[in-house]
Amino acid sequence: MSYARNRPEQLFLGFAAIYLILATVETAALGAPGLANALTFSGKLTGASLVLVSAVALAGAVAAGYLLTTRRNPRPHQATVRRQRGLLLICLASITVLVANLMILVAQFAVGDPTPALAVWMAFIVASAAVIAVAVARLDTRIPLPRKVAVGALVTGVLAVANFTYSQLYLPSKQEASIIATPVFGTPTKDADQGGVTVPFSVDFTIKGQGVMVLAATYDVSARVASLAREPRSEEQLAKDVQQGNEPSATTNVTGMEPVQAGWLIEPGSPYQAGEELKIDRFIRLPNPLRYDSVELDLYVAFVRSDRATLLSNPDSCSDDLSHCRWDLRQANALYQRIRQPVTIELTRDYQPHQGQFDWTEVTYTPGRDADNRYGVHLKVEHTRLALTNLG
């Protein structure tokens, strides 16, 4: 004769055992990789919490299996105590699983995407609520402690969900990351044979707030073709300067801008830690006598926060000339990997000096939903100009 007194209780215990075993697998599958590979301490803490939930769920499954398979104890009081303890453990395990899946559901709606995994969390929430309701109903009303423990655990679980929402979702969104890039031209000098002019420039990079992975750090240098006007220019010509984006001048004819040089300052995909600084020196050479009155440097910087994602690189991620790169994104932890759609980042950079232009660096995300806020991806442009005067 089995320990369970009737068929409804046998069905309940069987369902509870299967549900808690599945919950053990679910939470362990999310928690173990997160504990091992999460990019942040909070991510590792989430992974550890889910591993702990899986251990509690396993204990509840063992309790359900024990009550389902053990024989009736000849001592009624001892049997009742064991049954109450087993039901209480099943109840606590179910509350723990409920809280864990509520946390996951909060993350899904707050920072995730509508993925098929949403149905999994919902199924565990419904199953948890059903098991808790039945277990609490079967706890002996003459023994108040089990019910008080169950209610206390449920209240604690609600507070845990609120704390999770604050620490995992709200706080990270308030943490900033940036790259301060400062381009500076040096003093131009004529070559010894007077055949050309060398213009040095440097770029200082400082990583602020969080570590980053640089997607692009490129520069374009253009020179303004200008000559002295033989006579003062008219108001119509000055207005035309304004329309073309040139500084209006009564003494200078501006033909336009010519591309001089472009290139990469940092290899795509390079990681840097918060607080790191680096200085990169470059130079350009112009023919002498000069046809230009100034040079302009445009600096393009794009990056991903390394506390929110990792670039999965391989030897074919970038073309040999770095004109095209493609990375798959790995999320900050295993939980986010399940609740977000796969993301791909592509970078294109087209050099066309023979056509008199350099195309801007383009960074695109597939899917592109809220990429800037989610991964801390930014594209910033710095501009500086140097008048070609006082050549040494």
pLDDT band at 7 (very low <50, low <70, confident <90, very high): confident
The beta strand positions in the chain, using DSSP E, are 178-185, 189-190, 196-208, 212-228, 252-264, 270-272, 277-287, 292-305, 309-312, 324-331, 343-348, 351-352, 357-358, 362-366, 378-387
Q: For residue 147, is pLDDT > 70?
A: no
Kindly report the pTM of this predicted structure. 0.71
Mean pLDDT calculated for residue range 348-358: 65
* Percentage of the chain exceeding pLDDT 90: 11
What pLDDT is attached to residue 248?
67
Higher per-residue confidence, 2 vs 330: 330
Q: Which of 63-77, 129-143, 257-271 has the highest mean pLDDT?
A: 257-271
Q: For the segment 195-211, what is each residue's pLDDT rounded down to a tens digit?
A: 788 889 999 999 988 88
User: How much helix, strand and coil, in percent to the nearest 5, is found in the chain?
Assistant: 45, 30, 25
Q: For the segment 37-82, what is each residue's pLDDT rounded down to a tens digit?
A: 878 777 787 888 888 888 889 988 998 888 888 766 556 656 677 7
User: Taking all residues of the chain, what is their mean pLDDT, rounded to a whole number?
Assistant: 79
CA distance 335 to 37: 11
* Percentage of the chain exceeding pLDDT 70: 76
